[in-house]
Structure 1
Amino acid sequence: MGTGKRGRPTQPTVKRHIRGGLGCEYRIAWMLRINRLYGDDQSLSVGKKFARAFRGGSWDREVDGSQITHWEKLDQIPGYEVIRRYEELLGLPRNSLIAVADVVYHDKRGTPGSPHLKRPPDPYGIRRAGLGDVVDRALSTDAMNGDDWDALTANLDATRTVLPASDPGWPAVVERLAQELLLAEHIHWAQRNEAMVRFVGDPSSTSMVIAVCDALSADSRNQVSSELLGLLEITPHPDAMAHLIRQVSTPVNEVARRGAWWAAAEKTGRGHLRTPDLIALAKHARRLLAGYEGHPDCRSAAANVLYQLHAVTPALFKSLRLNESDASVRNVLTGGRIVAVTDASVTVNRIAEVVLGQMSSGHLSTDPILAELLGDALFDPQVTARLGALSLIRVTPYRKPTANVLAMELGGKDARSNPDLFASMVRALAFLGTPTHRQHLEKIALATDGFAPRFRATVIHSLAHCGESDSADEVWTALIVRHLMNQSNPMEKHIADGLIYALGIQRRFGSLRRLVANPAMPGPVRAAASWWLNLPEHVLRSTSR
C-alpha cells in the first residue's frame, strides 16, 4: 500500500477497471447486428434488404446496405434514432435496446450525468403534452412508467423550468424513483437506473441522491438496500464514500454489507478514492477476509479491492490462511475472476460454441463478443459488470439458447463440484431463463440431498428474478416450511434472507402477510416481511410499467 516508512502515506497504485476488451460502442453495435441476423424475419438478415426497409416509422431517410455495415461494424456510431429504428423494424419492444444501450454506456464509461446516448429534442412528445404533467405525476400517487422517468431526466435543465432546483418537492421525486428502482426488473429497471444515474451526476441533485440512498438503506429491514448502495459507486462525491465506509464497517444488515462492498470495489477501480479512503478500505478488506464467514459475494468484493490496489502479496495470503472453501477469494486475488482464469476461458468457449450451434440460422461460426460477454456475465466479481453483460445477451436471440446451455451445464459434474461456478451459472440462468428454466431451478431448491446449503441459498435468492411457473405456489410453501424456522447458523440466515427477498420481488404478498401474522416465526423474518408490505401501493403499481 505505501512505502513502509513513517510519514505521509503514498498514493496506492490502482488498477483502473476497464470492462472487457471492447468498448461500449462495439457492444451496442454487436447488439444491433445479432438482433438483425437472428431476428424472426430472416429476410432482414440480408443487409441490402434491411436497408431497403429501413425508411419508415421514426426514420424518414433512405439508407443503403453499406450504411448498415458502417453502423454494425462501428465505422459510424449508431445513435438514438438508429437504435430506435432497429427496434421498430425488427418488431422488438419499445426501448428494449435503447435502455440496455444506456446501461452499457454508463457502466463502461463510469461517468454519471446526462445520457451518453443523446435524445432528439422531444422523443416522447412530452413538450406537446406538457412536461409539467409528468412532474405532477411524479409528485403524486399516480403511476409512472419508464418512459416518464426517461423524459423527466433526459434534460434536467428543461425539467427545472417546471420544477425549480430549489423546490422542496425534488427530494420526494428522487425518493420515489429510488423506491421504484429497488423493485423494477429488466427494461423497467434499466430505465429507472439510467434516470437515477442522471440525477446523481447533476450537481444540483448529487447530494440529494446520496442523502436519499443513505436514509433508505439505513433501515435494517430493507431487503434491497444493495441496489441503493450500488448507485453510489458511480459518483466520486466524498459523501458517497463516507456512507459506504459506514456500511462496510458497521452494516445495518447483510444486504447492506454486500451492497457496500460491491460499490466500494467498483469505486476503487474507477479511481474515485483518496489515499486515506483507500488505506482504510484495504484494512477493512483484510479484516473481513480474515474473519468473516458470511455471504461469499462480500468476500469476493473485498478480494477485488485488494486485487485492484496491487495489495496482494505472499504475506497477505499467509495472514488470511485461505482454505479450499475460499477458492473464489484466491482466484479474485490472483486473476481478478471468481474462478481460475484458465477454467473461465474453457467454460466460456464451450458455452459459446454450443449456443452458436443451437441458432436456427448459421450466420456466424464464431462470435468473440458473445464469448467476452459470457466471461463478464459469469465470472466478473463486480455485479454491475455481470448485469451489463447479461442485459446485452438477454435482448438478443441468444437469450434462450444461452439459458438452455446453462441449464444443461448445471447438471454436469464441473458445476456441481464448484460452488462458485454453480452460483455464477444459476444467477445467469435466472436472469435469462423462461418459466421452463425456472422449473429446473425449483427442483434444485427443493432437493433434500445432493446440494449443499450454499448451493440452495444461491438458487432460492435467484428465484426472485425468474418468471413464475405453474408450480410456484407449492414451491414457495415448501421453501417457507423448510427454511424460515431454522436460522441456527449464518448460512441458514442467508437462505432465509434470500427467500424473503424472493417473495417480495415476486409480489407474494399473501405469503408475506401470513409470515408477519405468525408469532412462531423468528423476529427478523417477520420484520423483513413487514418491510415489503409497507411499500407504497403507487410505487408497486409503477414498477411493472
Structure 2
Amino acid sequence: MSVESTPPPGRRRGRPQRLPEDPHPLASGVVGCDQRIAWLLTVSRVLGPDPELARRDGFIAALKARGIPVDASRVSRWASGLQPLPNRVAATYEDVLGLTEGSLVAVAGGLRRTFGTGPSPRDSAAREEELSDAELDQLMQLTESGGGTGADWLRLADHFNRFDRVFLREAEWTALCRRLVTELGSAVGTAYVRRYEAAAAFIRHPNARRHLIMAVGQFVTHPDTQVVAPVLNLLSEVPDSAAAALTLRMLGADSDNKYLRRAASSVAATKLARGHFDEAALPRLESHVLGALRRGESLDGRLDAFDLAVRLPGESWQRVAPGLRTRRAFQLVEQARAGDEMIPAARAASVVAELAPAVQHETQSHQAQEPDQMLRRLLREALFHSHKPRRHHAALLVAASPYAPAAAHHLLQLACDPNDLLAARAWTVLMRVGDHSLCDAVVRRAVEDERPSVRARALVNVGLDGDLTPEHTGAVAQRYDAARSIERHATLFALGMAGAPELPDFAKSDDAETARAAQWWLDQGPAIHDRDVS
C-alpha cells in the first residue's frame, strides 16, 4: 500500500528514530484533546515544507518575531500536550507555517469543544484585539451578502464570543444565521470546518442560539433539501430543549425523508452520549433503533442507528435487544458496546498496521522518524470507532496534517476492498481527507463500482472533490436512470456540488422527485471551496 517516489533534495523518508528535540504527545501516557492538538501542530511544523521551521530554534525565532514570547521549554510542553495551547498561539502557528487562516484553530477548537472542557474565554480568542465598529460593520455586510470566507465567519464568531450579550436587530440575526446555515450545506473541506466552528459558536451564544436553531430547522425540513447531516449536526452542540425536540421530531415516523431520519439518528446518538435527552425521550429512541436494526441491511446501511444503539443506556438496550430478528445485529452492537469498535479488534488492528506505515512512509520528512503512533490511533478511530464524533474528529486531524495527501491515496486503495464495510468506511474517511489530485481515479471508481451503498459514497466524494470536467460529469450522469435510489441521490449530489451543465436537464425530468432535487441544487449553487484555502 505504498508508492515509491523521490523526495526533494534535502529531504528523505524513513522511520528509525524520533526527532530528538520534539517529545511525542503520547509520551505522557495520556491521549486527550491537548495531546491530539499537540500532535497536529507538531507534525504541521516538523513535516512542513520549510526545513528551517522544522528545527525548534528556527521556529521559536519565527514565533518571537510575531510577538509570541516563548522559549524551548514552553514549546516542548506544547509539543507534548502537557500545556494547553491557546488559540491565538495556534493562529500564529498558521501564520508562521503559511497555512490557511483558521485551518488549525478550527480543528483544535472543534476537538476541545467536543471532548474537552475547552480553553478559557480569554484563551479561546484567536486574536488579542477586538474588531473596531467599522471592521465589524464591514464583516457583517460581507458575511451576510455571501461574500465571506470561512476565515471571515470565524472572525465574526470570535468577536461575538468575547461578549456575554450581543444585541443585533432580529432581521440581522435571522439573515446571518440563514446565510451561515445555507453555506454549510455546500461548503467543503476547510471551508466547511471553519464555518461549522463559527456556527457552533453561534448556537452556543445565548443571543444567537434561537435564530441558529430556527435556521437549521428551516433548511433541513424544506421538502426538497438534498443535504441534511452537515447542517443538522449543529443540533448536537447544545442541550437546548428546542434542539432535542426538533431532533426527536425528525427521527420519528412522521418524517418521510429517509436521509433526514438517518441524520437525525446520528445527531440523537451524539446528544444521548452528551446527556441532552431526559428519560421521557428513551422510548422514542428505542423504537427507532429497533425498527432500523431489524431491517435486513448491512451494518454500513444502518450505521447511524447502530451508533445510537451503542449509546443507549443499559436498561434501554436490554429492552431493544430481544426484538432484533438476527443474532448478527445483536452481536455487532454488543461488540461495540464492549470495545467501542464496529469490527473485531484484531481485524481493525490488521488493517491499520498496513495502512499507517504506508501513509507515513509516503509523507515527506526532513529527517528520519520513528513510527507515528498517534497517526495509527487516528486512522483506526476514523475508520472503525463506534462513536461518530470520534470518527469525525480523528479524520479531521489527519486531513489537517501533512499526512493528508498520502492518507487519501491509500484510503482510495482501501476503498477497492471487496469487503463492503471496509470499502464504505474508506470512502467515508476520504470525504474528510480527499485530495483533488485523485479526482480522475475517484470518478472512475464511482462510475465502475457495482455495490450501491459503496458507489453512493464514492459519488459523494466526487461532489466534494472540486471542479469536474464535462467528461467527468457526463460519465457520472450516464448511469442515473439505471441506478437505485441511494445512488441517484448521490449522483445529484455530485452533479449539484459541481454545478454540472446536466442539472437543468434533470430539473425538467418527467420524474417529479428528480426534477425537484435538481432544481434544489440549481437554487443552492455549487460547492464552496473558499478562495483563501491554500
TM-score (norm 2): 0.85
Structure 2 match to 1:23: 32
**Is 1:150–1:192's contact at 8 Å kept on the other side of the alignment?**
yes
Structure 1 match to 2:383: 378
**Is 1:34–1:397's contact at 8 Å kept on the other side of the alignment?**
yes
Change in CA separation of 1:114 and 1:279 when aligned onto 2, cut-off 3 Å: farther
Structure 1 match to 2:230: 227
How far is the alpha carbon of 1:316 from its aligned partner?
Answer: 5.1
Q: Which residue, out of 501, 513, 526, partners 2:504?
A: 513
Letter in 1 for 2:60: A
CA distance in 1, matches of 2:230, 2:68: 41
Structure 2 match to 1:345: 349
Which structure 1 segments of 5+ residues have no match? 1-19
Residues 31-430 of structure 1: pairs in structure 2 closer than 5 A: 31-56=40-65, 59-61=66-68, 63-109=70-116, 117-122=124-129, 126-127=131-132, 129-139=134-144, 141=145, 143-156=147-160, 164-165=167-168, 167-249=170-252, 250-291=254-295, 293=297, 299-308=302-311, 309-310=313-314, 319-322=323-326, 332=336, 335-361=339-365, 362-411=367-416, 415-416=417-418, 418-430=419-431
Change in CA separation of 1:518 and 1:246 when aligned onto 2, cut-off 3 Å: same
Letter in 1 for 2:489: D
**Is 1:115–1:154's contact at 8 Å kept on the other side of the alignment?**
no
How far is the alpha carbon of 1:463 from its aligned partner?
Answer: 1.6
Structure 1 match to 2:11: none
**Is 2:191–2:529's contact at 8 Å kept on the other side of the alignment?**
no
Matched, 1:486 2:491: no
CA distance in 2, matches of 1:54, 1:86: 8
Change in CA separation of 1:157 and 1:226 when aligned onto 2, cut-off 3 Å: closer
CA distance in 1, matches of 2:237, 2:123: 14
How far is the alpha carbon of 1:268 from its aligned partner?
Answer: 1.0
CA distance in 1, matches of 2:180, 2:295: 37
Q: Which residue, out of 476, 486, 501, partners 2:473?
A: 476
**Is 2:88–2:124's contact at 8 Å kept on the other side of the alignment?**
no
**Is 1:327–1:339's contact at 8 Å kept on the other side of the alignment?**
no
Moved over 6 A (4+): 110-116, 157-161, 312-315, 323-328, 539-542
Change in CA separation of 1:76 and 1:534 when aligned onto 2, cut-off 3 Å: same
**Is 1:226–1:259's contact at 8 Å kept on the other side of the alignment?**
yes
Q: Which residue, out of 493, 500, 505, partners 2:492?
A: 500
Question: Does 304-313 or 389-398 show the bigger shift?
Answer: 304-313
Measured against aligned partners, the alpha-carbon deviations of 1:129-182 in whole angstroms (never above 9, x if no partner) come to: 43122223344x351222322222223277898x72453321121111111111
How far is the alpha carbon of 1:62 from its aligned partner?
Answer: 5.3
**Is 1:257–1:298's contact at 8 Å kept on the other side of the alignment?**
no
Letter in 2 for 1:211: M
CA distance in 2, matches of 1:115, 1:246: 38
CA distance in 2, matches of 1:190, 1:207: 22
Change in CA separation of 1:154 and 1:44 when aligned onto 2, cut-off 3 Å: closer
Change in CA separation of 1:358 and 1:286 when aligned onto 2, cut-off 3 Å: same
- Count of matched residue pairs: 501
Structure 1 match to 2:21: none
Letter in 2 for 1:479: V
CA distance in 1, matches of 2:117, 2:517: 33
TM-score (norm 1): 0.83
Change in CA separation of 1:256 and 1:543 when aligned onto 2, cut-off 3 Å: farther
Measured against aligned partners, the alpha-carbon deviations of 1:307-345 in whole angstroms (never above 9, x if no partner) come to: 222358788555322377999667545643232232112
Structure 2 match to 1:529: 518
How far is the alpha carbon of 1:220 from its aligned partner?
Answer: 2.1
Measured against aligned partners, the alpha-carbon deviations of 1:230-283 in whole angstroms (never above 9, x if no partner) come to: 110111111111111111113242221121011001111111110011232112
Change in CA separation of 1:251 and 1:337 when aligned onto 2, cut-off 3 Å: farther
Measured against aligned partners, the alpha-carbon deviations of 1:106-128 in whole angstroms (never above 9, x if no partner) come to: 222388997973333437xx317
Letter in 2 for 1:48: D
**Is 2:86–2:124's contact at 8 Å kept on the other side of the alignment?**
yes
Measured against aligned partners, the alpha-carbon deviations of 1:452-502 in whole angstroms (never above 9, x if no partner) come to: 233222212222222446xx422322332212x236xxxx10110111112
Change in CA separation of 1:214 and 1:408 when aligned onto 2, cut-off 3 Å: closer
How far is the alpha carbon of 1:353 from its aligned partner?
Answer: 2.0
How far is the alpha carbon of 1:409 from its aligned partner?
Answer: 3.1
Question: Does 193-202 or 436-445 show the bigger shift?
Answer: 436-445
**Is 1:183–1:543's contact at 8 Å kept on the other side of the alignment?**
no
Identity among equivalent positions (%) equals 24
CA distance in 2, matches of 1:498, 1:91: 35
How far is the alpha carbon of 1:287 from its aligned partner?
Answer: 1.9
Q: CA RMSD in A?
A: 3.1
Change in CA separation of 1:513 and 1:327 when aligned onto 2, cut-off 3 Å: farther
Change in CA separation of 1:382 and 1:525 when aligned onto 2, cut-off 3 Å: farther
How far is the alpha carbon of 1:423 from its aligned partner?
Answer: 0.6
**Is 1:446–1:475's contact at 8 Å kept on the other side of the alignment?**
no
Structure 2 match to 1:7: none
How far is the alpha carbon of 1:28 from its aligned partner?
Answer: 1.0
Letter in 1 for 2:97: L
CA distance in 2, matches of 1:242, 1:350: 44
**Is 2:415–2:422's contact at 8 Å kept on the other side of the alignment?**
no
Structure 2 match to 1:10: none
Which structure 2 segments of 5+ residues have no match? 1-28
Letter in 2 for 1:342: A
Measured against aligned partners, the alpha-carbon deviations of 1:182-235 in whole angstroms (never above 9, x if no partner) come to: 111122212211111111112223222222211211112101122222110111
Change in CA separation of 1:107 and 1:511 when aligned onto 2, cut-off 3 Å: farther
Letter in 2 for 1:377: A
CA distance in 1, matches of 2:30, 2:316: 24
Measured against aligned partners, the alpha-carbon deviations of 1:42-100 in whole angstroms (never above 9, x if no partner) come to: 233222232233322xx225533333212111232221232222222222222221222
